[in-house]
Each structure stands twice: as structure tokens, then as C-alpha cells.
Amino acid sequence: MAAEFDCDILIIGGGPTGVTLGLLLARAGVSVIIAEKEADIYPLPRAAHLDHERSCASSKKRAWRTR
């Protein structure tokens, strides 16, 4: 018998985008499940560089607060 899980949002993929989205939604009070097929975190970095746009998005993410 399969286990049952309840959430507001199901995110498929626990890469950088999926995890960031999940964290932001959870901070806003949304119930989130992130489904990832791999058992372990990939040990090597995947980003070749961070550009100005990504740096700005990271800054905004840190400043974002829930009410």
C-alpha cells in the first residue's frame, strides 16, 4: 500500500530551483513536498557562474519576509 501525503504544492525535483522555490513557499506558510529521485545530494557544483541578475534575485530572496 502506498503512503499518503498531503500538501498545498508538490515540487518535482530537488535541484537548486526546486529547493529554492520550496523554501520560499514554506516561509510564506505554504505546505510543500519536494520529490527528488536521487537519494544523495550531487557532490559537485553545477553552476558555472553567478551573474548580476541571479545575485539580485538572491538579495531579494534574503530580504523577503512573511507577515
Spell out the per-residue pLDDT of the chain, length 67, in tens: 778 899 999 999 998 889 989 999 999 999 999 999 998 877 877 666 666 665 665 665 555 554 4
Q: Cell numbers of 49, please? A: 557562474
**What SS3 state is found at 16?**
helix
Contact 10, 33 (CB under 8 A): yes
Given this model, what pLDDT does residue 53 score? Answer: 64
Residue 23 lies in a domain: yes
Q: What is the pTM of this model?
A: 0.63
- CA–CA separation, 32 and 24 (whole Å): 10
- CA–CA separation, 57 and 1 (whole Å): 42
Residue 19 lies in a domain: yes
Beta bridge partners of 10: 33
Residue 58 lies in a domain: yes
Residue 10 lies in a domain: yes
- Number of domains making up the chain: 1
